[in-house]
Amino acid sequence: MTIPREVFEQTVLSFFDPVRKFLDDPTVSEVMINGFDEIWIERKGQIHRTDASFANVEALTSAIRNLAQFVGRHVDEHRPILEARLPDGSRVEAIIPPASPDGPSVAIRRFFRETLTIERLIGFGSLTGDAAGCLQALVAAKNNIIIAGGTGSGKTSLLNVMSSFIGDNERIVVIEDSRELQLQKPHVVMLEARPPDSKGRGQVSIRDLFKATLRMRPDRIVVGEIRSGEALDLVQAMTSGHGGALTTVHATYPIDTMNRLETMAMMSDVQIPLFALRAQVGSAVDCIVQTSRLQDGSRCITHITQVVGYDGDKGYILEDLFLRRYTGRDPDGRVLSEFRPTGHLP
């Protein structure tokens, strides 16, 4: 007998009852469970400890195992890390003993049903109207764009917004580890990687999906996040006629983004001379959009940077098109800044 999906969803959520009120609170962006009796939340960029708790370790472990079953994955002492999503789409990263010796740890990145738009980002002060026009032009011109930033800096949200600039007549193939993106476009193919089962079977990696994608006639390839050797596949696709790719990378500054992409490409099993690899990376990436979470908890774009290329003597040559400059803080402690064009033209 097959359990109806709606019943399964409610069962999963019932296991997470101690944090349910935070999952339903639109002001909460992250729920962090450091063991059954220590729960923290992030609200408007600030972290607070709550008085919520699970009944015991077993109750929290049961919630994690039930969620693993819901997403068709396996978690146990031999595979103690779970990447999953709740029925509403919120991303979950859970780690159980022995990898988390003090007890299960869970981080839930909230999923917001309300669609974020470029107009709202401008209203928040994340960027200016001029910068938004620049991004729209870069996407329309099929530039290969990397959105870079630290954890919780708004990379995925910005990728969703920038995808709205893609034409409705384009076929978009999206590749993700765990489904997060919400592309508001008519012709989208969503692909999701999966880890092996408890017997090591059935793994589908990002690289596997990427190779399949190239034969699915994509007008655009969107990769949720580049983490490893798939960087080389993306770089080679970008330099072989597949323009307009969008992806995210964890990096602090635009030059770090290029160096990280290079390092991840070297994790591939394909051996390429370093100079040739750097030349390919410098040629593949057209633009970097850098995001950051400031000290007051606000998220914003700090750089829009074009990649001019790679020079053997100078390294990667980058030019900032827009740059955020900081002017201080207001009486409430909010960071004051301006996002201005530098004078370089794309």
Max intra-chain CA distance, the chain: 66
Q: Are 326 and 289 in contact (CB under 8 A)?
A: no
Give dist(CA 337, CA 75) in Å, integer. 45
**Helical residues (DSSP H) of 72-203, grouped into ranges:** 118-124, 129-140, 155-163
pLDDT digits (tens, 9 = 90+) for 160-207: 999 999 999 999 999 998 788 888 899 999 998 888 777 778 889 888
Query: What are the DSSP calls for 265-319, one per residue?
Result: HTTSSS---HHHHHHHHHHH--EEEEEEE-TTS-EEEEEEEEEEEEETTTEEEEE
pLDDT at 3 (0 to 100): 56
E strands, the chain, are 28-34, 39-43, 46-49, 81-85, 91-95, 105-109, 145-149, 172-176, 188-192, 220-223, 246-250, 287-293, 299-311, 315-329, 335-341
Give dist(CA 68, CA 82) in Å, integer. 7
Q: How far is CA 192 from CA 113, 135, 136, 311, in A?
A: 20, 27, 27, 37
Residues of the chain with pLDDT below 50 are: 1
φ/ψ (deg, to 5) at 208: -60, -45
pLDDT at 57 (0 to 100): 95
pLDDT at 114 (0 to 100): 67
pLDDT at 1 (0 to 100): 46
pLDDT at 292 (0 to 100): 94
The tally of CA atoms less than 13 A away on the side-chain side of residue 194 is 13
Q: What's the CA angle centered on 60, arms 59 and 63, to 5 degrees? A: 90
pLDDT at 194 (0 to 100): 84
Grouping H, G, I as helix, E, B as strand and the rest as coil, residue 186 is coil
For 152, the token pair is 């919780």
pLDDT at 38 (0 to 100): 96
